[in-house]
Amino acid sequence: MQVPPFSLSEQLQGLGAALDQAVLEVLRSGQYIGGATIARFEQDFAEACRVPHAIGCNSGTDALILALRGLGIGPGDEVITASFSFFATAEAISAVGATPVFVDVEESSYLIDLDQLEAAITPATRALLPVHLFGRPVDMERVCAIAERHGLKVVEDCAQATGASWAGRPVGSWGDVGCFSFFPTKNLGAAGDGGAITCRDAELAQAMRELAVHGMPRRYLHTALGYNSRLDAMQAAVLNVKLPHLPRWVERRGAIARHYREHLAALSGVALPELGPDGHSWNQFVLRVPRCAAAQACADSGVSCTPAADSASFGLPEACCRDWLKQQLQDAGVSTIIYYPIPIHRQPAYADLGYGPGSLPVTERLCTEVLSLPIFPELSGEQQQRVVEVLRTVVAQPLIVA
């Protein structure tokens, strides 16, 4: 049995007729940019996030850029965020001319360490950008309290957390702005790129809406240098069909996560992700293969570890045990993904910021340990059991490193 890390085939089969009809209606309407289809999605998505305003845009990356621009953040400003995230989190900060300031994450949650976040605030800090990584929400009550104490803006990176909530309140409704991605593999995915921004302030919403269409408050009047970042009607049509199913899909993801935790709880050599508080939307199920386990397994097998290419190239600890496990699972038909092998602060694009090896030790270690198991709403019970059985079998084997 082959188990993919993610698949849309079952979802598309189940929604096929509704998706076909929605897309065909857009094609026949001739209204591909703007119009009622997009307005409907923005209204429904705003209601789902419990905010008055949602603005569709081209991608989650653009959502971050528009949010920062709308808040007036630019050259000379610092924005504090996590390095353990997708590159776009920091890239958006740089794109508006500001400087990303990276702080470490908690080993147990993979989320930004809020103690270190507050300690990193300087007179140049203008905003905090917490990332709800893998679908687990950051403690937004505490983030907002820190921001209020220091007079800072809060931009939530919700790209991996659509449908998640903190203290019963949806992500994207806590900060000044929430930024979402509808990349096809996300909890709510379009048929291509797409994104949205959520906020409570009408003036800010209008500013971001104008920036998304060339800084244009009305046709052919341009009051700012903006972007061409519209959510097109075809993607909105797909999202309109999918949005009502989101709560059920998130619930299903949670059930799969609990199944993994229950059936892998006694497994030695790997560390399972915490269930965390209610509100986790489980975009990914990310376990860890600790380096200490790798060292012992290598020693027991009479072999020495060879650092993975990424580890060796970027001054990170050895990752051979995680990489070995990934290959063994792949050989047995279980596909996994590594999110993320190289932390943002160690990427060549940010070499000029001066973050050397060991500057964010937890982040750097996690990048050599994390491995994401298959998880998507349609993952069958049989497939889940196959993942469990293969992982149990592989971890019980002696580690052999070439």
**Across 137-163, average pLDDT:** 98
pLDDT of res. 232:
95
**Across 33-44, average pLDDT:** 97
Give the tens place of pLDDT for each residue, 275-333.
Answer: 998 999 999 999 999 864 445 545 455 444 444 444 444 445 556 788 989 999 999 99
* 18 backbone dihedrals φ, ψ, rounded to 5°: -65, -40
| Amino acid in position 286 | V
- Residue 352 clears pLDDT 70, i.e. is over it: yes
Going from the C-alpha of 248 to that of each of 12, 135, 243, the distances in angstroms are 15, 15, 10
Picking from 208, 243, 200, the residue whose alpha carbon sits closest to that of residue 229 is 208
Give the tens place of pLDDT for each residue, 363-373.
Answer: 999 999 999 99
Domains of the chain: 9-245 (3.40.640.10), 246-396 (3.90.1150.10)
Q: Are 114 and 134 spatial neighbours (Cβ–Cβ below 8 Å)?
A: no
- Residue 402 clears pLDDT 80, i.e. is over it: no
**Across 242-262, average pLDDT:** 98
* SS3 call for 3: strand
Encoding tokens for residue 179?
């930024």
Calpha distance 93→128 (Å, rounded): 11
Encoding tokens for residue 359?
């500057």
- Residue 174 clears pLDDT 60, i.e. is over it: yes
**Across 51-56, average pLDDT:** 98
Supply the Cα-derived Rg of the chain in whole angstroms.
22
Burial classification of residue 122, based on how many CB atoms lie within 10 Å of its CB (0-12 exposed, 13-18 middle, 19 or more buried):
exposed
pLDDT of res. 396:
81
Picking from 362, 390, 360, the residue whose alpha carbon sits closest to that of residue 290 is 362
**Across 262-269, average pLDDT:** 91
**Residue written as token pair 């419990």:** 50
State the SS3 of 109-154.
Answer: CCCECHHHHHHCCCCCEEEEECECHHHCCCCHHHHHHHHHHHCCEE
Calpha distance 267→85 (Å, rounded): 27
Encoding tokens for residue 247?
């709560």
* SS3 call for 221: strand
Q: Has this prediction a pTM greater than 0.85? A: yes
State what percent of residues in the chain have pLDDT above 70. 91
